Structure 1
Amino acid sequence: MDEYTGEKRVNRTSVGESLRGSGRKVMDFLSGTVGPVIPIYMCCGMIMAFLTICTAFLGFDANSGVVKIFNGVANAGFYFIPIALGWSAADKLGVQPALGALLGMSLLYSTINGAHGLDIFGIPVYAVSYNGTFLPIMLGVPFLAVVFHLLKRIMPKAMQGFLLPVATMIITVPVVLLALGPVGYVAGTGFSVVFQWLQAHVRFLASALWGAFCPIGVVAGMDKAVFAINMNYMNSVGYDNLFCPGALAANAAVGGSALAVGVLAKRGETRELSLSAGVTAVLGITEPALYGVCLEFGRPLIGASIGGAIGAVFGAFVDLKQYSWAGPGLMTSPTYISADGNMTNFFLCLATIALSAAAGFVATYVMSRRDAAKIYG
């Protein structure tokens, strides 16, 4: 309280710390929820890529039983992803995971998913197709968790075993269908519109910033949060020509940067680690190179950011697209083959990898060559 005006003072430091703390909690929730679900996206994306190769180049009949079955497997993973996300989010928030999965199942049930003319006590339910969506379930489960924990505190323990799940769902489902689900759907659509606008008006800038930031974002643990936006965008337009190509360039640049350290280093241990980590990063596994080389020495991280920006701008220039999701790297490059079997985009993917790795290598080499012995041993 100000002694002269009598007005309540706002502690700006505490407000800032509170906002940062809230941001960290949101990031932790997103990464903790998305992380366990990523293998579904990886598996389904790679199956789609291999089916494209089989039907376009290996003579497989697109109407054969084998192709139909595995195409069903791949599409099922994307279609029913709200169920897996619901389970993972509920588990992260300390709620019975089955309730989160049940919420996802409810959104996908035929009489609810995309249905018109529904109402709850006279209040109309907005028709939303929830299959393949991300944000509606990610908004719904936190509300479910609040309801669950509140009821658990006030409900007698003797009744919790059979009544707690029922009461939680009875309260949660109407709120999700009337408010949180439509809001999440509209927000997701809005995100896609924003990124389409960025692609149309400031594409090279957006790509350069993302390619440069991506290695740092992985270190900061923000990659899974961005993945959420990425998947929403890909589900909306059928491909990704910003996030995935930028991450592909960044991973290759991290690999090239680590390889430069391997070439410059004289100490056997550093040399071996950098060379092996560089190769695995180009293939798509960046953690050894990021944590063992880039963060350890600093300059390679800068070189990786430079290489990532250059590669991402090239990807934007050639309109590189990834058609099904898989972790960015050389091993998953078949996901850049278009459904009609046209290989142009695939070769542009390989060119992006090569350019990014070379740019990361050169940037790190130039920055480090004069005092390489002092830095890397």
Structure 2
Amino acid sequence: MDVQKLAKEILELVGGNANVSHLEHCSTRLRFTLIDDSKANLEALKKTPGVLGAVQNVQTQIIIGNSVVEVYNEVDKLLENDLVNTLETNAKKIKLSTRLLDFIVSIFQPLIPAIAGGGILKSFLMLAALLGLLDKTTQTYQILFFIGDAPLRFLPLLVAMTTAKKLKVNQLVAVSAVSALLTPDLTMMLTKGAHLFGQSLINVNYAYQVFPAILTVICYAQLEKGFTKIVPKVVRTFFVPMFSLVIVVPLTLFILGPIGFTFGQGFASVIMFMFEKFGWIAVAILATLLPFMVVTGMHKAMIPYVITSLGQTGKEIIYNAASLAHNISEAGATFAVALRTKNKELRSTAISAGISSLFGITEPALYGVTILNKRVLYGVMIGSFVGGGSLGLMAVEAYVAVGPGLATLSMFISEKLPNNLLHAVIGLVISFFVSFIATVILWKEPDNEENIKNLKATVLKTPVEGKVLPLENVNDDVFSAKILGDGVAIIPDKGEIYSPSDATVTMVYATKHAIGLKTDDGQEILIHIGIDTVNLKGKYFDVHVKEGQKVKSGELLITFDIEKIQSEGFDPTTIMVLTQPKAAKIVVTESNYVSQFEQLITL
């Protein structure tokens, strides 16, 4: 995979540098906060080689898979000098609820690697102690435990960093403000009864806390911006931080800290109450809904609860159990598909996706198999409900914020509940086999011989006059390898693209060099003008239709200047591929040259 090329294509299809307000990534996705969501071309993104899928919900999320870090780094380089602080200035364009959820996800999502790494280390240490491999009383065990516990103990500092980054203020000063709350001497002073300006302070232990740090940095951000406007530039470097710190830390000790601490306690209590009220059914329902939540990215909204629960109580009792049931159900369903399907390509995809799901990464299964086949989705939902219900009935607790799977089962190790890990394994086995059996029973081959026999022949006319070129001979690996689909290429004589059939325009690229169509009988077609002509950024192209417009066979779609395209050094070869063909055999004309409206492909 050429990650540099992919990064450029993705950035272009989300509306360019100027449309990006914030960028982050999780284990499989690039997560963009865009100024104008409508500028993102989701259909084009979904068809981009290297992209597994794209969704838009609060953030524009582009599913990459295991190469997400490499792609993120390349996109980040492209944005480095252009990322603009326009989310706040464009607040009127974005709903308050959307901005709030984006703010929360942007703060908590980056915390996961540190918290997960430390948590897994602690769980392995507990396992070593249970097996008698390491004595808990030794300094070696204690020091390693301190290392694992550090991300949660100093969670306020991590939160301060991510909050300051999101608000685009000085991260080191923000961390310094929160650090003041964690100094051992102040902690001891608060325990014994501290006074500031003659007023008593509420005793709050700020270690492991989230919300006091968030409120502190929000307040600091306003102070920094305010003082920056009024303090002379010559002394701004040290006076702005000093004035901000001397105000925000006392204000936190008096007001913001106690408010944030109380809110955090209440937040965790509400979740515990819900579990006590609804019990196992809450876990079962959440697990059943997770396929839809993961596809839309809404599962990330659960991260604040998970991290807060771990910080407040040291455990989490709903989401991770539901997530384990769903992840393993995806594996069971995809392995069932691999067993039943006659399609070699689908079998290969299903096996790969199933292995990934066993280790807690479900996007390949969801986008490659599950959401494309409703019978598989039903199998996953059945397995998730039964597995989630069993985990809920056994009250399985998690102690680490990480995607549950075979490699992270240690997240369920508990000293107080010796059977907790065993119960998690039982729930895992139930989820896998229920989903596997359900999918085996429900599966029906989507493109069977009966469908092919009953399908009527479809004729696609030539979209442009010129010399016919086999797709395998196109000077572009994506098209010649038929990664996007089968079809044909034409070296054009005229710069006019016509609709090959009665169809609906599903996509018009922002750079005007390509167009997507869906014929009345459901065939999806991509017409791509030239090789690498995306780099022309729309020059020499004119589009005469718009997305959603119905067009007749032979209707003019795009005009382009062949000579000017060639003068810029680009190959004008035009490709027509069927990106999602229905069950059919593609027969290309035997003619070496096709004229306007001549038959080109028969399905």
SS in 1 for 2:397: coil
Equivalent position SS for 1:338: coil
Stretch deviating more after TM superposition (120-129 or 186-195): 120-129
Is it true that 1:351 corresponds to 2:419 in the alignment?
A: no
Is 1:61 matched up with 2:149?
no
Alignment correspondent of 1:294: 370
Return 77-86 or 325-334, whichever deviates more: 325-334
The alpha-carbon deviation at position 363 of structure 1 amounts to: 4.2
Note the 1:88-167 alignment, pairs <5 A: 88-113=162-187, 115-116=190-191, 117-167=193-243
Extract unaligned runs of 5+ from structure 2: 1-90, 452-579, 584-603
Matches within 5 A, 1:1-377: 21-113=95-187, 115-116=190-191, 117-297=193-373, 300-339=376-415, 342=418, 344-369=419-444, 371=446, 373=448
The alignment partner of 1:141 has SS state of helix
Q: CA deviation at 1:58?
A: 4.1
Work out the CA distance in 1 between the residues paired with 2:382 and 2:230: 56
Q: CA deviation at 1:89?
A: 1.4
Cα distance in 1, alignment partners of residues 354 and 135 from structure 2: 39
Query: Which residue in the other structure is 2:20 paired with?
Result: none
Identity level (%): 27
- SS of the aligned residue for 1:328 comes to coil
Q: Deviation at 1:232?
A: 1.8
My pick for the range that moved more, 29-38 or 214-223, is 214-223
* Contact 1:57/1:341 (8 A) holds in 2: no
- List alignment gaps of at least 5 residues for structure 1: 1-16
Q: Flag the 1:139–1:350 CA change in 2: closer, same or farther, 3 A.
A: same
CA distance in 1, matches of 2:307, 2:236: 37
Name the structure 2 match of 1:7.
none
Pair 237,162 (structure 1): closer, same or farther in 2 beyond 3 Å: closer
Higher relative contact order (CA 8 A, sep 6+): 1
Q: 1:263 to 1:61 in 2, by over 3 A?
A: same
* Secondary structure of the corresponding residue to residue 326 of structure 1: coil
The alpha-carbon distance between structure 1 residues 345 and 163, as it changes in their structure 2 partners (threshold 3 A), is same
Deviation at 1:276, TM superposition (A): 0.9
Q: TM-score, normalised by structure 2?
A: 0.55
Q: Is the 8 A contact 2:208 2:312 kept in 1?
A: no
- CA gap 1:174/1:309 in 2 versus in 1, 3 angstroms: farther
Q: Distance in 2 between matches of 1:300 and 1:88?
A: 38
CA distance in 1, matches of 2:219, 2:337: 48
In structure 2, relative to structure 1, the CA distance for the partners of 1:80 and 1:265 (3 Å cut) is same
CA contact (8 A) 1:53 1:341 kept: no
> Partner amino acid for 1:38?
I
Superposed CA offset, 1:113-149 (max 9, x none): 3714334434432211111112221222222222222
CA drift at 1:368: 4.0
Check 1:148–1:341 CA distance in 2 against 1; reply closer, same or farther (3 A cut): same
Q: Which moved more, 1:170-179 or 1:299-308?
A: 299-308
Rg larger in structure: 2
User: What is the match of residue 511 of structure 2?
Assistant: none
Higher share of residues assigned helix: 1
SS at match of 1:63: coil
Conserved? CA contact 1:282–1:357, under 8 Å: no
CA, structure 1 residues 148+209, in 2 after alignment: closer, same or farther (shift >3 Å)? Answer: farther
Alpha carbons 1:35, 1:224 under 8 Å: kept: yes
CA deviation digits over 1:255-277, x for unaligned, max 9? 22333333344333322122111
Q: Contact 1:282 / 1:353 at 8 angstroms: preserved in 2? A: no
CA distance in 1, matches of 2:218, 2:290: 28
The total of aligned residue pairs comes to 360
The question of whether the paired residues in 2 share the 8 Å contact of 1:217 and 1:223 is answered with yes
1:340 offset after TM fit, Å?
Answer: 5.8
Distance 1:104 1:302 in 2: 47
Distance 1:154 1:253, change over 3 A: farther
Q: Distance in 2 between matches of 1:302 and 1:103?
A: 50
Of residues 35-44 and 107-116 in structure 1, the stretch that sits farther from structure 2 once superposed is 107-116
Q: CA deviation at 1:199?
A: 2.0
Q: Which has the higher strand share?
A: 2
| Aligned-partner SS, 1:285 | coil
Once the two structures are overlaid, the 10-residue window that deviates more, 314-323 or 254-263, is 254-263
Between the aligned partners of 1:227 and 1:132, the Cα distance in structure 2 is 15
What amino acid does structure 2 have at the position aligned with 1:66? T
Task: Write out per-residue CA displacement over residues 27-83 of structure 1, whole angstroms, 9 at most, x where no aligned residue.
Answer: 222222222221111111111111112111143222223212211111222111111
Quote the Cα distance in structure 2 between the aligned partners of 1:150 and 1:304.
52
CA–CA distance in structure 2, aligned partners of residues 265 and 301 of structure 1: 15
